[in-house]
Structures are given as structure tokens and as C-alpha cells.
Amino acid sequence: MSRRLLVLGSTGSIGTQAIDVVGRSDDLEIVGLSAHSAWEALVEQAVAHGVRRIALADPDAAARAAEAWTDGEVLSGPDGLVRLVVESGADIVLNALVGSAGLGPTVAALGEGIDLALANKESLVVGGELVTQLAEATGARLLPVDSEHAALHHLLRAVPAGSLERITLTASGGPFRGRSRDELADVTVEEALAHPTWSMGGKITIDSATLMNKGLEVMEAHHLFGVPYEKIEVVVHPQSIVHALVETVDGAQLAHLGLPDMRIAIAYALHHPELADLPTRRLRLAELGRLEFEPVDEEAFPCLRLARQAAQAGGTAPCILNAANEVAVHAFLEGRLAFLGIPEVIDATLQEVPAGPVEAFESLYEADHAAREAARRIVERLGERAAARGGAGEL
């Protein structure tokens, strides 16, 4: 019998690749789809895959979809998304939303005991222990859809309990690898969006250029695998062939390799514990010749350090960092903030908004809100300062 799958964020980079993976399997049936506002693309997907329930976060888009498509039900707003999760009878939910907006559906799926294939790393960064405790309490499986973490999940199957020494995440280094801080002052949005090895959504592509993505991934790995922060290393590897490594107590290291193709990570999560037969381009090391590794330049890319600091501080600090990052990345993409303004906004927000303990999910929603407000004010302040100096975009 096929398993019922819900794809949240189905019009995005991960969502569309997931639909490709599902199309190659007899084991999965899509029972619901969601997007933010791209209603035409969403309705097209619903028609193509015989799906009868969709959700759009944007109420206007939902209204237009309901008018144009009468073969099924259109749910609307953040509540509609949660209803889609809890009412669809899904066996597995793929959360491929972007940003902390993914926390609600993550909590909804795990709370119902539904297995979760999680691409939305932000919900784990923000929700941390509460999210993993919820999965444990209901018995829902939490399966990562991130190349490094799917690789680690796969590798850790070969490590006996108590034998893990450390884990290593690789980072491509993004489009600005090798540049000094000064050389990053006036990089453009277009340059930042030109990722050297992966084709992804806008937000994660900018996170990869600042290295915040790796900071979020350190937290993601900590929560998924219960590894202490001092045992999670990051190494820059420009070819993105080695996705992650684990070191065991005997000094051996196991690495996960492959040409960059997110369908491997998506299929890993959707088919776990089996491995799907995928038509991916195969890695031949002799053709590649060499692989390179180098340390992270934290002076030029301070976001990784900021993320590690927030992670160590714990409580609502990662939530505040994440919200500030989302606001800053958004402002950068809209041309209202310079590239180096991104870590500046995050740092200033962390200083302005006091972190506290996480008592319940409510603490997170409050911290997220307060951090967004503060970050928006800081972006404006930096913009005014730049204008006063007469240098548009130069902060």
C-alpha cells in the first residue's frame, strides 16, 4: 500500500524536486500541497497529481485559487496550513517551507505523530529541544532533508552507540569564498545569488553566501543527532562532493560523497529506511581529479561565529538570531541593505533583544516577533546612516 505524503512548499526548489522523486516511486501518493502565494503553479501541480486539497498561506492567493479551481478544497492562511497537516490523514509530511513560518506545520505534524521529512531547518533552529522532545513524545520520526544531515543520518547507521567522536559538515564557501571582508563591501544581489554548486531558493542561497546557512546547520545537526556543539566542525570544501564526515573513537573517519543533487537527500528521507533507485549523475573520482578543503574565514564571514554564539547561549537566542537573519536577508534581496549589513543587523538585534528561557512554543513566537521588530528598525537605521554618507547600499 502506498504511503500518503503531504508536500508543504511544493512550488519551491525542494518542493519541485520532491515531486520529481515521488513521480519515480510506487510507494508514495501525494495527498496535499501548499505554497505561499504561487496559486497558479500550485493548482497546476494539484491537477497533474490528482490532489484534492491545497493550502495557500496568502489569503488573496487562496481566494483566487478557489475561484479558478473547483475540483478540490483550498485552505487559507497559516491556520489553513495547520489544518492541511492535521486533517489529511498523511503518513509523512515534507516541510519545505522557508523561514520560521515552518515552525507551525512542524509542530502540527510531530504533535499528531506524523513522520516529518524536514527541509525547513529554521523550525529546528528556532524550536530546538521542544521540537525534538515533541517527536520523541509522539513517536514521530524526524528525517532531515539537507544534504549534510541526510549524509550524517546515513553515515551514523554505521557507528555503534558510544563510538562517535565528532561530526564534520562541509560548506561550499559560497560565491565569495576567498574574498576578504573589504572585498565584500559592495557585492551585488546578483553576485550573491550565483551559488557555485547548488541551485536553491533565494533565502538559502544568500545564507550560503554569508555562511549563516552553515551556522543554522550546526544547530540542526546538534538537535537531530544530540551531538554537543564542540564536537561539530565545519570545513570549507568548494566542490560540494563530500557532504559530511563522522569520526569514530578509533580515529577512523567515514565520509558521504556524491555529485550535488538534492534528490538524494529528499529520497533518503521520504523512503527511509530504504534507498531509492534514482537516475542521478554518478560520481567518478578519477574524472574529478582532486578535492579541496580549507578552514572557514570567520573574519570575512562572521555569521557562522554569531550562530555558534547564539547556539551556545541557548534559550530564545537562536530564535532571535534566525528572525534577525530573515529580516536582514529580505532587506538585502530588496536592495535596502548591503551584504556586510546582514551580520551587522544580526549582531545588533542579539544585543538589543534579551534572550530568555524557552518555556513553551509561545516564548518562541514572542521572541521571533520582538526580534523582527528590532531588526527592521536596525535595517532602517543603517539605511539612514548610509544615505547620510551619500553611499547608497554602502554601510
Task: Give me the least distance between CB of 154 and Mg ion, in Å please.
Answer: 14
Task: Give me the least distance between CB of 52 and ligand NAD, in Å please.
Answer: 19
Which residues are paired to 277 by β-bridges? none
- The site partner of 341 among ligand NAD, Mg ion, none (C-beta below 5 to 8 Å per kind) is none
C-alpha grid cell, residue 140? 514521530
SS3 286: helix
Which residues are paired to 115 by β-bridges? 92
Looking at the Cβ atoms of 122 and 148, the one nearer to Mg ion is 148
Task: Give me the least distance between CB of 25 and ligand NAD, in Å please.
Answer: 20
146 contacts Mg ion (rule: CB under 5 A):
yes
- Residue type, position 275, single letter: L
> Are the C-beta atoms of residues 196 and 175 closer than 8 Å to each other?
yes
- Nearest Cα neighbor of 147 from 236, 225, 214 is 214
Radius of gyration of the chain (CA): 21
Looking at the Cβ atoms of 28 and 119, the one nearer to ligand NAD is 119
296 contacts: CB under 8 Å, gap ≥ 6: 171, 211, 214, 234, 235, 236, 304
- The site partner of 184 among Mg ion, ligand NAD, none (C-beta below 5 to 8 Å per kind) is none
- The site partner of 122 among ligand NAD, Mg ion, none (C-beta below 5 to 8 Å per kind) is ligand NAD
Looking at the Cβ atoms of 51 and 234, the one nearer to Mg ion is 234
Looking at the Cβ atoms of 12 and 175, the one nearer to ligand NAD is 12
Task: Give me the least distance between CB of 198 and Mg ion, in Å please.
Answer: 8
Q: What letters, b where the CB count within 10 A reaches 16 and e where it falls short, cover 336-351?
A: bbbbbbbbbbbbbbbe
- Residue type, position 343, single letter: P
Q: Residue 33: phi, psi to the nearest 5?
A: -140, 150
> Are the C-beta atoms of residues 141 and 93 closer than 8 Å to each other?
no
Q: Which residue of this chain has its Cβ atom nearest to ligand NAD in the complex?
A: 12
Q: Residue 99: phi, psi to the nearest 5?
A: 85, 180
Looking at the Cβ atoms of 121 and 177, the one nearer to ligand NAD is 121
Looking at the Cβ atoms of 215 and 341, the one nearer to Mg ion is 215
- The site partner of 12 among ligand NAD, Mg ion, none (C-beta below 5 to 8 Å per kind) is ligand NAD
Task: Give me the least distance between CB of 146 and Mg ion, in Å please.
Answer: 4
- The site partner of 241 among ligand NAD, Mg ion, none (C-beta below 5 to 8 Å per kind) is none
The separation between CA 94 and the C-alpha centre of its own chain, rounded to angstroms, equals 12
Task: Give me the least distance between CB of 269 and ligand NAD, in Å please.
Answer: 11
**Cis before 273 (ω within 30):** yes
- The site partner of 9 among ligand NAD, Mg ion, none (C-beta below 5 to 8 Å per kind) is ligand NAD
Task: Give me the least distance between CB of 387 and ligand NAD, in Å please.
Answer: 30
The residues binding ligand NAD (CB under 6 A) are 9-15, 35-36, 38, 57, 96-98, 101, 119-122, 146, 198, 200-201, 204, 262
- Nearest Cα neighbor of 378 from 324, 333, 340 is 324
Looking at the Cβ atoms of 15 and 393, the one nearer to ligand NAD is 15
Task: Give me the least distance between CB of 82 and ligand NAD, in Å please.
Answer: 11
SS3 282: coil
Q: Which residue has the cell 558510544?
A: 162
Q: Return residues touching Mg ion (CB under 5 A).
A: 146-148
